[in-house]
Chains A and B, each alone.
Chain A
Amino acid sequence: MGAWLTLVIFLPAAGAIGLWAVRRPEAVKAAALAITLAELLLSLPLWGSFDRTTATMQFVAEAPWISRFDIFYRVGVDGISLPLILLTTLLMPVCVICSWRAIDRRVKEFMISLLLMETAMIGVFSALDFVLFYVFWEAMLIPMYLIIGVWGGPNRLYAAIKFFLYTLAGSLLLLIALIALYFEGGRTFDLMKLMEASYSAPFQFWVFWAFFLAFAIKVPMFPFHTWLPDAHVEAPTAGSVVLASVLLKMGAYGFLRFCLPMTPHASQLAMPFIAALSITAILYGAYMALAQDDLKKLIAYSSVSHMGFVTLGIFVFNVQGVEGALLQMINHGVTTGALFLCVGLLYERTHSRMIGDYGGVARPMPVFAACLVIFALSSLGLPGTNSFVGEFLVLVGAFRISPWVAALSALGIILAAVYLLWMVQRVVWGATRPAVERLPDLSWREAVTLAPLVGLVFWIGVYPEPLLAVMHHSVEQVVAQVGRESLPDGAHLLVRWIAGGGAGPGVVPGVVP
């Protein structure tokens, strides 16, 4: 099955090369759709034959690449990366379909960028060699830069350069961390070996912060988030979807794959700080979303808020929190991707992203309105939808660390209802404005892009067990890895003091394992 995984990684890139030969734009689109659909089908056996009873890497493939420095082509997946890979392969056909009419020039180049992007993203999620990881990590940057910079809105160059430079700055620190770990971890780039090695506390401290900056920019965490609204506003719909659904997960994935297992000590030390930043992101993003008049900016800032739950869940270091964070990564990919699709649909019709230009969309476009309301409800974490399960787990995990952390984060779910339902009220409800009176409802092509996402929203909300079963052992392993080094007493006290100390008054102790 290792070869299978390699096939999954490189099929889109191979398809991209093949696409050069295709001439007519319509044929290019059809070919790109066929490739992404084939890729989706190809990735499904990974889900089917994944062993849910172990945390070890599966479908591992290994080949020497630059053996002088122990650099290998080494890939494999576990319960953390598999759901993310499937999210990617599921969303790429959606991205191709939603670009069908929205992209009308340089179609071939656009589709090639998307396909290269897919290979790079799946590569990041499955790389088990640090250099390979870094190559994929950097390789993601270029197609995304082109997608924003070539096919974007009026201010696309500013947004693209900001995105590129910002993330490149983070990457450089990642490179430094990579080299440092190579020497300290026994001259190897094997991620599994690097996770097993133990490092001195000061070393962990420096490496952690290098990691932190690289990943925090990608997430993005407050205050490194300002590239995100610009990138989203200028990016074409498919770009926004990829950015929100998959690229934002890279940072959180990095925290899970590198920070927690390799620098457990430093991670624990940094926990109060990151919890504070996460809560700030949750509340700040929500307030920002409340103030926006631009639909894409509103959703972009809601992403900042939602990703705050993810980073919070990762850094509470218990199974509920981490599992919730991982599930929330998937949920955010589904829901926010869908919301960007919805905005894209509206934009294609009216060429406006301003909330004030809409109103009463429900009457001309009832099916679209139903979808938008469903995704908004999912985004605000209504029970029965996907986000509720994720947010609930994150908050349970946070509550076990400190009730105050959970209480402050819970303010975020109130604000989420405010900004999302207010948006729905202004866009969907109300008297139908003349400008939107004659808008056509969803076409079949559009309905096909939204339908699987609606299905996922309810499936994960009602019956998340299959997904949780895949994640479970890997999450437990990460929690065990970060827990293997305990802080010295003084530092521990500091952490507990900042985090609010214990699980509140009068608790029956030791019931929860």
Chain B
Amino acid sequence: MITALAWSIPALPLAGALVNGLGGLFGFTWLRRVSHFVAVGASGLAFAGALMLFLRLSAGAPPITLTLYQWIFGAGLHVHVGLLIDQLTAIMLMVITGVGSLIHLYSVGYMHDDPGYPRFFTYLNLFMFSMLVLVMADNYLLFFVGWEGVGLCSYLLIAFWYEKTSAAQAGTKAFVVNRIGDAGFLLGVFFIFTSFGSLDYATVLPRAGELTTAAATAITLLLLVGAVGKSAQLPLYTWLPDAMEGPTPVSALIHAATMVTAGVYMVVRNHALYAMAPFSMETVAVIGGVTAIFAASIGLVQYDIKRVLAYSTVSQLGYMFMAAGLGAYAAAIFHLMTHAFFKALLFLAAGSVIHALGGEQDIRKMGGLWSKIPVTAWTFLIGTIAIAGIPPLAGFWSKDEILNAALSGGHPILWLLGLTAACMTAFYMFRLFFLTFKGPSRLTHEAEHHLHESPLVMTGPLMALAVLSVIGGALAGYPSEAGWIHHFLAPVVGAHAEEEAAGGSALFGVAASIIVALLGLTIAWVMYLLRPGLAEAGLARFTQAHRLLLNKYWVDELYDLLVVNPTKALGRVWDWFDATVIDGAVNGVGRGTGRCAALSTWIETHIIYGSLNLTGYANHIMARLLRLVQSGLVHHYAAIFLVGLFLLANLLWWLNHADPGGDGLVVWNQAASFINSLRRGGGS
């Protein structure tokens, strides 16, 4: 019963994807009217199933393991398709199916007029399936199936509006950049296999202590390469901002709430391995901290509402990595959860704005929407407060815990990085809010005309997520480091090592977090509401810095210069090499043979025929016949070859039967003994 429930959680979205996908390919027109029932129903049922498992686990039931069938096997390699649902998986399940279902529902309104409606739900359900496989897998290889599966769905959904070249390009870019990470991850998996002879978590993780530091470091760094790609961390983050080409619900589900957090999940899942490799832990923390501030700084100056949120996501993921690298695994998952609430909320609210304005995404052409679309505005404000880290909303609790882990864990520089990034976060989010909803309206006439609040099917999910963004943090994470989520996750990640750190320094940290958040808010308020001219003046003063940020540090251009263009150029160089050198040699051999043939023909006609001519006309005819045979046409040769083969076979057969058992084959035996003598001469 419980096992059937477990496997039906991923199976339901898969079935939904198959129904919508096949129906769409067969061109069923009725599908348009039912595809949302199928998709939303599948994800809703998956949520119900996840909820039941979650309640079971929180009531103290043991983790569920389940083997479906043997997938790949051979000489010591046994990989099953099997599921593992422990506390960590349960939280991920709740986030994925819960937030996922809300976004499915929202999409019914958002994508309503799109011609690719059933296709959209196909991909969305397929994504749910892959993501569920990722978090429910009980071994590294099945995990990898989900890992690349979500990458595929991300690719398909970014390129959903495939007729836009920029969307198609962004899709390819996302997949390829992820592939770079995945190749590293796969090498890590091989390393795990050669070290443990197994790919099951249940075998590998308890034996992590047997690894030497060097091996553990190699494994964990290789796995980290994959996580850096999937979770858009430095240096492989560049695909995520471009991924905003996809429909907004996709940005909310895949590129904010779930898929991009897979890297964090992976690190936490493998914390036993990371624990053996201090250097890898440091690397994770530093990558996270630097990414947090790097992406936040780019977010300060962007004008596209979705791109600001995209850089914000990269930055927030940096916090989660920092937490994981510091060993604060519960804090990382806690922030993953609250971030899923408020970032999904912000994206969906942004989508509601875009929807209301008929597709406008430039915040310079917004403003004054506060009273026009009140539900969207209110929920967006709640999301903004939550992400800015202002208590008592969700983001405050989880972010503060991460900063506290840095401070009390003896990493003041990381703490400062995080604190600065927190200030920037508050600034760019309130900048976004003020420019979009407050101040004078800068709408185009067309957009003004189009303006309307979204239907209930869209605002409903917004309100649900807003409630979660308000109470989700305090409910799950209070009191700090000893809240519900910490106790719930303790069987998987263990209790946080530095609990005694609470006290004086913690209070100082909390005060600092609140102050920087309010500071960011105030600066944004002054610059964009109180004194609108100040922003312009600031830009004029810091032109160089502004251009640097506006162009995102020219990282994309740098990668084009260093990686993309050389790769393409190398392809062309090898193409030339292949045609000129290798094939040139082949054709050269061909021509050389032709010249030799010409030479021998000349010898034959001038010298041999010349002497043969003396013997008369009959011989001449013979020669002409021979020349016919040597036509230089391969199919003639082929025919002669066939005839010869046939004659030879018959001859052998005839000899064989004409002289049974005898030794009459003088020529053959002579050849044999000749070869034998050669062999004896040279062999020994």
Scoring A residues 107 to 138 as 1 if CB is less than 8 Å from chain B, else 0, what string do you get? 00000000000000000000000000001001
- A151–B518 Cα distance when bound, in Å, is 77
Q: Which residues of B contact A383 (CB under 8 A)?
A: 141, 144-145, 147-149
Q: Which residues of A contact B570 (CB under 8 A)?
A: 287
- A289–B568 Cα distance when bound, in Å, is 10
Within 8 A of B (CB), among A343-381: 360, 362-363, 366-367, 370, 377
B572 contacts A291, C-beta separation under 8 Å: yes
Count of chain B residues near A, Cβ 8 A: 83
B194 contacts A399, C-beta separation under 8 Å: yes
Query: A318 within 8 Å of B by Cβ?
Result: yes
B162 contacts A203, C-beta separation under 8 Å: no
- A183–B159 Cα distance when bound, in Å, is 63
A431 contacts B571, C-beta separation under 8 Å: no
Shortest distance from the beta carbon of A227 to any chain B beta carbon, whole Å: 7
Q: Which residues of A contact B72 (CB under 8 A)?
A: 389, 392-393, 464-465, 468
Q: Which residues of A contact B215 (CB under 8 A)?
A: 504-508
B197 contacts A284, C-beta separation under 8 Å: no
Query: A429 within 8 Å of B by Cβ?
Result: yes
Query: A498 within 8 Å of B by Cβ?
Result: no
Shortest distance from the beta carbon of B493 to any chain A beta carbon, whole Å: 24
Query: A513 within 8 Å of B by Cβ?
Result: yes
Q: Which residues of B contact A46 (CB under 8 A)?
A: none
A414 contacts B176, C-beta separation under 8 Å: yes
- A284–B576 Cα distance when bound, in Å, is 12
Contact A422:B193 (CB < 8 A) given known A396-B77, A414-B179, A472-B74: no
Within 8 A of B (CB), among A146-167: 146, 149, 160-162, 164-166
Q: Which residues of B contact A135 (CB under 8 A)?
A: 645
B25 contacts A370, C-beta separation under 8 Å: yes
- A141–B634 Cα distance when bound, in Å, is 12
Q: Which residues of B contact A287 (CB under 8 A)?
A: 567, 570-571, 574-575
B169 contacts A425, C-beta separation under 8 Å: yes
B679 contacts A183, C-beta separation under 8 Å: yes
Task: Name which residue of chain A comes closest to B190, CB basis.
Answer: A399
- A508–B149 Cα distance when bound, in Å, is 31
Q: Which of B305-313, B322-330, B396-404, B650-658 is found at the contact surface with chain A?
A: B650-658
B196 contacts A508, C-beta separation under 8 Å: yes
Contact A288:B683 (CB < 8 A) given known A223-B582, A403-B187, A511-B195: no
Partner of A164, one of B186, B211, B575, B638: B638
Task: Name which residue of chain B comes closest to A161, CB basis.
Answer: B634
- A198–B133 Cα distance when bound, in Å, is 50
Contact A512:B634 (CB < 8 A) given known A202-B683, A425-B168, A425-B172: no
B163 contacts A429, C-beta separation under 8 Å: yes
Shortest distance from the beta carbon of A414 to any chain B beta carbon, whole Å: 5
Contact A513:B76 (CB < 8 A) given known A202-B683, A288-B574: yes
Partner of B149, one of A164, A184, A384, A393: A384
B162 contacts A504, C-beta separation under 8 Å: no
Shortest distance from the beta carbon of A58 to any chain B beta carbon, whole Å: 20
- A473–B247 Cα distance when bound, in Å, is 51
Query: B218 within 8 Å of A by Cβ?
Result: yes
Within 8 A of A (CB), among B567-585: 567-568, 570-572, 574-575, 578, 582-583
Interface centre among B165, B172, B583 (most CB of A within 10 A): B172
B76 contacts A512, C-beta separation under 8 Å: yes
B635 contacts A145, C-beta separation under 8 Å: yes
Contact A200:B683 (CB < 8 A) given known A226-B583, A430-B168, A505-B218: yes
Query: A382 within 8 Å of B by Cβ?
Result: yes
A138 contacts B645, C-beta separation under 8 Å: yes
- A115–B452 Cα distance when bound, in Å, is 68
A288 contacts B194, C-beta separation under 8 Å: no
Query: A476 within 8 Å of B by Cβ?
Result: yes
Within 8 A of B (CB), among A66-122: 66-69, 71
Q: Which residues of A contact B144 (CB under 8 A)?
A: 383
Shortest distance from the beta carbon of A220 to any chain B beta carbon, whole Å: 11
B575 contacts A292, C-beta separation under 8 Å: yes
Query: B597 within 8 Å of A by Cβ?
Result: no
Query: B299 within 8 Å of A by Cβ?
Result: no
- A462–B212 Cα distance when bound, in Å, is 35
Shortest distance from the beta carbon of B538 to any chain A beta carbon, whole Å: 40
Scoring B residues 662 to 680 as 1 if CB is less than 8 Å from chain A, else 0, what string do you get? 0001000000100110010
Scoring B residues 133 to 154 as 1 if CB is less than 8 Å from chain A, else 0, what string do you get? 0000000010011011100100
A288 contacts B193, C-beta separation under 8 Å: no
B638 contacts A145, C-beta separation under 8 Å: yes
Interface centre among A166, A226, A417, A425 (most CB of B within 10 A): A417
- A504–B218 Cα distance when bound, in Å, is 9
Q: Which residues of A contact B447 (CB under 8 A)?
A: none
Scoring B residues 159 to 175 as 1 if CB is less than 8 Å from chain A, else 0, what string do you get? 10011110111011001
Q: Which residues of A contact B672 (CB under 8 A)?
A: 183
B172 contacts A421, C-beta separation under 8 Å: yes
Scoring A residues 384 to 422 as 1 if CB is less than 8 Å from chain B, else 0, what string do you get? 100001001101100110010011001101110110011
Contact A290:B187 (CB < 8 A) given known A425-B172, A507-B194: no
Query: B214 within 8 Å of A by Cβ?
Result: yes
Q: Which residues of A contact B167 (CB under 8 A)?
A: 429
Task: Name which residue of chain B comes closest to A166, CB basis.
Answer: B586
B195 contacts A508, C-beta separation under 8 Å: yes
Query: B75 within 8 Å of A by Cβ?
Result: yes
B575 contacts A291, C-beta separation under 8 Å: yes
Shortest distance from the beta carbon of B545 to any chain A beta carbon, whole Å: 35
- A393–B642 Cα distance when bound, in Å, is 42
A506 contacts B683, C-beta separation under 8 Å: no
Shortest distance from the beta carbon of B203 to any chain A beta carbon, whole Å: 10
Scoring B residues 211 to 224 as 1 if CB is less than 8 Å from chain A, else 0, what string do you get? 11111101000000
Shortest distance from the beta carbon of B633 to any chain A beta carbon, whole Å: 9
Shortest distance from the beta carbon of A336 to any chain B beta carbon, whole Å: 19
- A362–B164 Cα distance when bound, in Å, is 12
Q: Which residues of A contact B148 (CB under 8 A)?
A: 382-384
- A145–B642 Cα distance when bound, in Å, is 13
Shortest distance from the beta carbon of A137 to any chain B beta carbon, whole Å: 12
B149 contacts A421, C-beta separation under 8 Å: no
- A504–B192 Cα distance when bound, in Å, is 11
Interface centre among A69, A145, A430, A503 (most CB of B within 10 A): A430
Contact A506:B163 (CB < 8 A) given known A403-B187, A403-B191: no
Shortest distance from the beta carbon of A33 to any chain B beta carbon, whole Å: 25
- A161–B172 Cα distance when bound, in Å, is 39
Q: Which residues of A contact B186 (CB under 8 A)?
A: 392, 395, 410, 413
Partner of B679, one of A69, A184, A472: A184
Contact A363:B172 (CB < 8 A) given known A410-B187, A505-B212: no
- A396–B189 Cα distance when bound, in Å, is 9
A288 contacts B190, C-beta separation under 8 Å: no
Contact A414:B180 (CB < 8 A) given known A319-B74, A320-B77: yes
Q: Which residues of A contact B574 (CB under 8 A)?
A: 284, 287-288, 291
B183 contacts A414, C-beta separation under 8 Å: yes
Task: Name which residue of chain A comes closest to B662, CB basis.
Answer: A68
Shortest distance from the beta carbon of A143 to any chain B beta carbon, whole Å: 10
Query: A142 within 8 Å of B by Cβ?
Result: yes
Contact A291:B571 (CB < 8 A) given known A226-B578, A395-B190, A421-B176: yes
- A468–B638 Cα distance when bound, in Å, is 39
Task: Name which residue of chain A comes closest to B159, CB basis.
Answer: A429
Query: B210 within 8 Å of A by Cβ?
Result: yes
Query: B602 within 8 Å of A by Cβ?
Result: no
Contact A164:B683 (CB < 8 A) given known A320-B75, A472-B74: no
What would 14 A/B residue contacts be, using CB atoms closer than 8 Å?
A66-B652, A66-B656, A138-B641, A141-B638, A145-B635, A223-B582, A291-B574, A320-B75, A360-B163, A382-B148, A382-B149, A410-B183, A504-B215, A505-B218
Q: A410-B183, A414-B180, A511-B195 are in contact. List 7 more A-B contacts (CB 8 A).
A: A66-B652, A290-B571, A383-B148, A396-B193, A410-B184, A413-B183, A506-B214
Which 8 pairs of residues, A with B, have the shortest CB-CB distance? A506-B215, A319-B75, A506-B212, A429-B168, A291-B571, A290-B571, A511-B197, A399-B190
